[in-house]
């Protein structure tokens, strides 16, 4: 539907949508054309299973794993972080907000914070040993790899010896920051180079745009 501002200014729905996209671009590292190109991606994802203009968890799962079914700890966390309003669906605005963090030019602090929230499964404000254990165990199961409990404990011990500097058995936000700055490869997944040339990846936005960057 049209927003109040556009109704009161008697703008057409098309112009209204352009105004909303322009507003979203203002508050993100994306240009208006890039937001429009991402809207093409959003439209495609949000109608893949339920055609309602919102991304449901199954649709995100389908896009990431080529199959909409099955429990996945990581997908649950990613979806939860995208879904700011916690209403079980991802709206376009939420999609842009979350993808902004993955932009190559997004501030590193935002990437560090987002990654922390991904790993803080129970949202306690700390990354705890059990959470790390749970994530490693989930990957082992997912990839059908076998690792002895002894080796798994050793890996987690070593990781905590390095990351948990006050030795209280959990990693705080501050400890996490120091740790990832020492191991920047851990933030590799937090940057999507595709976002730098999203207009080339989704050229169909050109048919809908009224704006030239």
Partner 1 sequence: KFFNAFEFISSMSSGFDLSSLFESK
Q: Pick from 47, 117, 119, 196: which binds partner 1 (CB under 8 A)? A: 119
Burial letters 151-160, b for 16+ CB under 10 A, else e: eeeeeeeebb
- CA–CA separation, 205 and 39 (whole Å): 8
Shorter beta-carbon distance to partner 1: residue 31 or 48: 48
Shorter beta-carbon distance to partner 1: residue 8 or 123: 123
From residue 193 to residue 212, the character string flagging contacts with partner 1 as x (rule: CB under 8 A) and all else as - is -x---x--xx----------
Phi-psi region of 70 (alpha: psi -120 to 50; beta: other; left: phi over 0): left
Q: Is 66 in the site for partner 1 (CB under 8 A)?
A: yes
Q: Is 75 in the site for partner 1 (CB under 8 A)?
A: yes
- Shortest spacing between CB 162 and partner 1, in angstroms: 7
Is residue 137 packed enough to be buried (19+ CB in 10 Å), middle (13-18) or exposed (0-12)?
Answer: middle
Part in contact with partner 1 (CB under 8 A); list of ranges 3-11, 23-31, 71-79, 84-92: 71-79
Return all residues near 196 (Cβ < 8 A) that are at least 6 apart: 103, 104, 105
- CA–CA separation, 42 and 39 (whole Å): 5
* Residues 28-47, interacting with partner 1 (CB under 8 A): 41, 44-45
Q: Pick from 10, 86, 167, 188: which binds partner 1 (CB under 8 A)? A: 188
Shorter beta-carbon distance to partner 1: residue 142 or 210: 142
Q: Is 102 in the site for partner 1 (CB under 8 A)?
A: yes
Say how many residues touch partner 1, by CB under 8 A: 40
* Residues 164-183, interacting with partner 1 (CB under 8 A): 183
Positions in the binding site for partner 1 (CB under 8 A) = 41, 44-45, 63-66, 72-75, 77-78, 102, 115, 118-119, 132, 135-136, 138-139, 142-143, 155-156, 158-159, 162-163, 183, 185-186, 188-189, 192, 194, 198, 201-202
């Amino acid at each position: 539907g049209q927003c109040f501002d556009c109704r009161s200014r008697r703008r057409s729905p098309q112009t209204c949508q352009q105004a909303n996209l322009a507003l979203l671009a203002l508050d993100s590292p994306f240009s208006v054309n890039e937001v429009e190109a991402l809207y093409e991606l959003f439209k495609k994802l949000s109608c893949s299973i339920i055609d309602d203009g919102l991304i449901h968890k199954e649709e995100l799962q389908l896009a990431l794993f080529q199959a909409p079914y099955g429990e996945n700890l990581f997908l649950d966390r990613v979806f939860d972080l995208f879904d700011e309003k916690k209403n079980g669906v991802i709206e376009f605005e939420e999609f842009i907000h979350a993808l902004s963090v993955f932009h190559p030019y997004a501030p590193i602090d935002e990437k560090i914070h987002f990654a922390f929230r991904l790993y803080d499964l129970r949202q306690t404000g700390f990354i705890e040993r059990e959470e790390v254990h749970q994530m490693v165990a989930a990957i082992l199961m997912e990839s059908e790899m076998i690792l002895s409990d002894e080796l798994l404990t050793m890996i987690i011990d070593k990781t905590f010896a390095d990351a948990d500097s006050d030795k209280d058995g959990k990693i705080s936000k501050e400890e996490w920051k120091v740790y990832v700055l020492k191991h920047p490869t851990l933030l590799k997944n937090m940057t999507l180079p595709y976002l730098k040339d999203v207009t080339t990846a989704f050229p169909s936005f050109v048919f809908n745009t009224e704006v030239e960057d």
